Amino acid sequence: MMLSGFFRIGVWQNFVRAWKSGYSGNLEGEGFTLGGVYVIGAGRQGVLLEHREKEFGDKVSLPAVLEAAERIKLDAS
């Protein structure tokens, strides 16, 4: 996203939301890398949930993560 990420209204909305909830973060690291969350099942189940940030501060749905984690089938052997 580089510089264009700073001009997106959603990025600023996410910043304000985080700031109001008390999150301060730090200024260490690269700072231009978008993150993601993956829930991967056991064995051949594969990826049960994939969430890639589309812009800075894009949050994954916690209920979706929990639902995906509950679908993991553990190998009984």
Tokens 């700072």 — which residue?
31
pTM exceeds 0.75: no
Q: What is the pLDDT of residue 47?
A: 95
Range(s) of the domain holding residue 65 = 1-24+33-71
Question: pLDDT tier at 76 (50, 70, 90 boundaries)?
Answer: very low
Is residue 77 assigned to a domain? no
What is the number of domains present in the chain?
1
Is residue 76 assigned to a domain? no
Q: What is the pLDDT of residue 20?
A: 86
Average pLDDT over every residue of 47-63: 89
Q: What is the pLDDT of residue 56?
A: 74
The structure tokens listed for 47 are: 């990826």
Q: Contact at 8 Å (CB) between 36 and 47? A: no
CA 38 – CA 18 distance, rounded (Å): 22
Q: What is the pLDDT of residue 18?
A: 77
Is residue 63 assigned to a domain? yes
Residues in the chain: 77
